[in-house]
């Protein structure tokens, strides 16, 4: 094959990455619409609440949230501001560093997250559980983890 015959858009890795982006965009769009309709909860808010619940001490700095949900620090600060105004999260001074502020989930945030998680699990059952068997889901999880953790 001549160098002029090579078309990067036909490269297997380019196509695979495009497919990964397409599937991610479709799942995020559909889940976001479902959460908005059934729980009146934006997908970004759901992600923040879930990250806070999973955090080892139940709290994260805004920069940690931004890294986890792939937003800018400024955008995440505004997102947390809106969530705080809605009563879903609060800000607390860090006990070991008085300059640092942590974001924590409130009781209302916990309740809303529980409601959203029930919707989320049903969505995942319909979108993944019925389309992929257990072995395929396990393999997909392994592969996605490998891509996520690559240096």
Domain residue limits, the chain: 29-119
Query: Can you tell me which residue has the tokens 């890795």?
Result: 13
Average pLDDT over residues 39-50: 96
Q: Which CATH class is domain 29-119?
A: mainly alpha
Residues in the chain: 151
**Residue 97: Cβ within 10 Å count:** 10
CA pair distance 62, 51, nearest whole angstrom:
11
CA angle at 113 for the pair 118 and 106, rounded to the nearest 5° = 155
66 near 48, Cβ under 8 Å? no
- Write down the pLDDT at residue 43: 95
| Span 75-87, pLDDT tens digits | 889 999 999 999 9
| Span 104-149, pLDDT tens digits | 999 999 999 999 999 999 999 999 889 999 999 999 999 999 988 8
């Amino acid at each position: 094959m001549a160098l002029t015959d090579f078309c990067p858009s036909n490269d297997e890795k380019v196509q695979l990455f495009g497919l990964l982006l397409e599937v991610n965009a479709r799942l995020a769009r559909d889940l976001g619409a479902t959460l908005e309709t059934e729980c009146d909860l934006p997908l970004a808010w759901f992600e923040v609440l879930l990250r806070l619940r999973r955090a080892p001490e139940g709290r994260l700095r805004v920069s940690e949230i931004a890294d986890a949900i792939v937003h800018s620090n400024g955008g995440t600060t505004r997102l947390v501001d809106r969530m705080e105004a809605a009563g879903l999260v609060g800000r607390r001074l860090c006990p070991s560093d008085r300059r640092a502020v942590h974001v924590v989930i409130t009781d209302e945030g916990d309740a809303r997250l529980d409601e959203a998680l029930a919707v989320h699990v049903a969505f995942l059952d319909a979108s993944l559980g019925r389309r992929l068997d257990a072995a395929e889901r396990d393999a997909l999880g392994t592969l996605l983890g490998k891509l996520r953790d690559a240096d």
